[in-house]
């Protein structure tokens, strides 16, 4: 008896396989069959991103470049059969999701918990990350300033992580083998990735996500999740400022 594994385009003769190998092949095929796909899309750029200004929950629309990035991202996802298209309600994410919706024929579903972190009094000010990212000591000071702003009028790191993780777990628990798209912000998407793949701490640094990047993960009900692609920006054809 022959069986084809569509995932890898491999043909197996089950009658010729040893029992142990047969059980292993069946196990992997069953896992692939029950896998859900999650596409994580960061929004396009705004005028503030182009000027190096910190957003947080400050609501800015996509710039002309951001609109072009959103359209290129939508074309890259054209034809994807997604059961849901979830988005942050902030304009830069909602506009990106709207562009995608026209290509995959899914209605964007805003989720308030997918908003970016509230940076309080630091929002609208120059983001010093490009200047400090090469210096370990300054990186610690930079993040301490962000946390302080959150604690004094913005949103604490703990509250931000709890709301994003709660929203992600709710979506994850209802995947049921479907494909979904989440359009959100750098810190939101990084928190989702960290929840799935990192034990915590500095491991999250590897989740670098450019504007309108596409990341894709496979989520299994009874096995570890798998990264299919991470921070893919090939579809932008170099139209990026990061």
**Residues 102, 134 share a domain:** yes
Q: Is the pLDDT of residue 33 over 90?
A: no
Is position 210 within any domain?
A: yes
Domain count, the chain: 2
Is residue 127 within 8 A of residue 54, CB to CB? The reply is yes
Is position 241 within any domain?
A: no
In this prediction, residues 134-161 reach a mean pLDDT of 93
Q: Is the pLDDT of residue 27 over 50?
A: no
Handedness of CA 188, 95, 64, 119 (dihedral sign): negative
pLDDT, tens digit (0-9, with 9 covering 90-100), for 79-133:
999 999 999 999 999 999 999 999 999 999 999 999 999 999 999 999 999 899 8
**Residues 41, 29 share a domain:** no
**Residues 119, 28 share a domain:** no
Range of the domain at 5: 1-34
**Residues 126, 160 share a domain:** yes
In this prediction, residue 207 has a pLDDT band, given cuts at 50, 70 and 90, of confident
Is position 242 within any domain?
A: no
In this prediction, residues 63-85 reach a mean pLDDT of 98
Q: Is the pLDDT of residue 203 over 70?
A: no
In this prediction, residues 208-212 reach a mean pLDDT of 95
pLDDT, the chain, mean: 88
pLDDT, tens digit (0-9, with 9 covering 90-100), for 216-225:
999 999 899 9
Q: Please tell me the pTM assigned to this model.
A: 0.85
Is residue 207 within 8 A of residue 194, CB to CB? The reply is yes
Q: Which residues contact 153 (CB under 8 A, 6 or more apart)?
A: 120, 121
**Residues 217, 140 share a domain:** yes
The per-residue pLDDT for 19 is 55
Is residue 207 within 8 A of residue 190, CB to CB? The reply is yes
The per-residue pLDDT for 34 is 82
Q: Which two tokens stand for residue 207?
A: 């989740």
């Amino acid at each position: 008896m022959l069986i084809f594994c569509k995932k890898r385009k491999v043909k197996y003769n089950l009658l010729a396989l040893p029992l142990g190998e047969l059980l292993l092949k069946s196990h992997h095929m069953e896992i692939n069959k029950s896998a859900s796909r999650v596409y994580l899309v960061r929004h396009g750029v705004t005028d503030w991103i182009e000027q190096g200004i910190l957003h947080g929950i400050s609501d800015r629309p996509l710039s002309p470049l951001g609109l072009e990035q959103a359209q290129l991202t939508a074309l890259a996802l054209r034809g994807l059969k997604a059961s849901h298209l979830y988005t942050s309600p902030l304009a830069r994410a909602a506009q990106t999701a709207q562009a995608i919706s026209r290509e995959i024929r899914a209605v964007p579903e805003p989720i308030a918990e997918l908003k970016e972190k509230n940076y309080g009094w630091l929002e609208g000010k120059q983001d010093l990350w490009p200047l400090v990212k090469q210096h370990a000591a300054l990186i610690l000071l930079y993040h301490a300033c962000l946390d302080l702003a959150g604690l004094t009028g913005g949103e604490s790191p703990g509250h931000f992580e709890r709301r994003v993780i709660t929203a992600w777990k709710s979506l994850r628990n209802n995947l049921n083998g479907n494909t979904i798209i989440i359009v959100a912000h750098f810190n939101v998407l990084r928190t989702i990735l960290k929840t799935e793949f990192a034990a915590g701490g500095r491991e999250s640094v590897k989740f670098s996500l450019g504007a309108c990047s596409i990341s894709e993960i496979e989520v299994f009900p009874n096995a570890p999740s798998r990264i299919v692609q991470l921070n893919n920006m090939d579809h932008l054809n170099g139209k990026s400022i990061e």
